[in-house]
Amino acid sequence: MKTSAEIYQETVAALSITERRAIFPPKVMKNFVVRKSWYGRAQIIKFTPKASKTNPNPQEVTYNHDLVYDAMLPILQHKGAWNKYGYWSQSTAMPTIVRHRDLLTEDDKAFLNPKPKSKAKAKK
């Protein structure tokens, strides 16, 4: 028998990307977050690391939760908080394993930076 969380994840995964974007708009977070319960949403998250001595002017990072989840899962499975709570976060910087990866799909980039609609000039 499936749990309600499993049924929910399957239902969300069956939605089109357009429907998921309408239900789960981009989030602005104060820390880098990966959650088991968010997998399948294709949630876009914007995160600005805290300033530090080595990085006094941190840049905002935008990432697709599912891409990061897939990349980090082998490491997360060995973390106590992940196994106990299904949640992992970091406020100071991007994790090394995803720091130099492309964190958005082409669909994500198009969604975040829509091309302006050109107005067709009426012919006389």
C-alpha span between 48 and 104 (Å, rounded): 16
pLDDT (mean) for 97-121: 82
Listed in sequence order, the DSSP H helices in the chain are: 4-14, 17-23, 65-76, 80-85, 96-99, 106-112
Is the predicted pLDDT of residue 82 greater than 60, yes or no?
yes
pLDDT (mean) for 56-66: 90
Is the predicted pLDDT of residue 93 greater than 90, yes or no?
no
Continuous segment of H or E residues that includes residue 91: none
Instruction: Compute CA 12 distance to the chain's CA centroid, rounded to the nearest angstrom.
Output: 15
pLDDT tens, position by position, 11-42: 888 898 889 989 999 999 988 999 998 998 88
Are 68 and 27 within 8 A, CB to CB? no
Percent with pLDDT over 90 in the chain = 31
- In this prediction the pTM is 0.81
Q: pLDDT category, 87, cuts 50, 70, 90?
A: very high
For residue 62, the number of C-alpha atoms closer than 13 Å in the C-beta half-sphere is: 11
pLDDT tens, position by position, 6-17: 888 888 888 988
Sign of torsion, CA 8 94 64 31? positive
